[in-house]
A and B are shown apart, each in its own frame.
Chain A
Amino acid sequence: GDSVTQMEGPVTLSEEAFLTINCTYTATGYPSLFWYVQYPGEGLQLLLKATKADDKGSNKGFEATYRKETTSFHLEKGSVQVSDSAVYFCALYKAAGNKLTFGGGTRVLVKP
């Protein structure tokens, strides 16, 4: 079945450091790919998405590119802030079934 694998955390960074969170997926067909973020005490919220190969999703300084050849969707941010401290979830979606399949989540802690 479909699955998503992402790097385990926690990832601890200093402010203004570069962040990368690796995500790879296994799926048949052509899924859409997502990053959701969960800030402390809040629900998951959509960060960015890409719906087809080579698409780049971006939001709030974060970027991820849909790489079909490597089945990856790595999340990057060039300069993190303390407010980026959260748990980040990579996910794939297929319209047939209408459900998200999530990775295990990566906790990121940014220190001042």
Chain B
Amino acid sequence: EPEVTQTPSHQVTQMGQEVILRCVPISNHLYFYWYRQILGQKVEFLVSFYNNEISEKSEIFDDQFSVERPDGSNFTLKIRSTKLEDSAMYFCASSPPGINTGELFFGEGSRLTVL
């Protein structure tokens, strides 16, 4: 069964460093998302991406964050200068073409620890 894959599964970084989290969505999907979950808190929407551009973003997704689909398969989240409060589990998700229904397919997550 097709699945969304994320790498790395866990990354530890120093505050101020740049981090890139990678995702390979399901191949025929056209909508891509990043969500995050700070330990013990809600899963929060960060950004959605369609047709090579951001379609929606939350107030969390400030200038420190960027997303890119550099080729036909990868979808990346870059955090330019990490802060302690960026420590969280980051989930990539994708959804198929057609009418959006809210049925997202999630990866297993990338845990980011900022020291």
Please tell me if the beta carbons of B109 and A98 are within 8 angstroms of each other in the complex.
no
Pairwise interchain contact A99-B48, C-beta atoms closer than 8 A:
yes
Known: A93-B101, A95-B100, A98-B48. A45 touches B106 (CB 8 A): yes
A66 at the interface (CB under 8 A from B): no
Within the complex, the shortest CB–CB distance from B85 to chain A, in Å, comes to 18
17 residue pairs A–B, Cβ–Cβ below 8 Å: A32-B101, A34-B103, A36-B106, A43-B91, A43-B106, A44-B104, A49-B101, A49-B103, A51-B101, A95-B99, A98-B31, A99-B48, A100-B35, A100-B104, A102-B35, A102-B44, A103-B42
A100-112 near B? 1/0 per residue, CB < 8 Å: 1111110000000
Residue of B nearest to A92 (CB): B102
Check B55 for interface membership: any CB of A closer than 8 A.
Answer: yes
- CB <8 Å contact, B102 and A34: yes
B55 partner residues in chain A, CB cutoff 8 A: 98
CB-based contact B109/A43 at 8 Å? yes
A-B contact count (CB 8 A): 58
Give the complex CA separation of A20 and B2 in angstroms.
31
Seen from chain B, the residues whose Cβ lies within 8 Å of a Cβ on chain A are 4, 31, 33, 35, 41-45, 48, 55-56, 58, 91, 93, 99-109
Chain A residues contacting B107 (CB-CB under 8 Å) are: 43
Cβ-closest chain A residue relative to B48: A98
Q: Is the CB of B42 within 8 A of A100?
A: no
B20: min CB distance to chain A, Å: 19
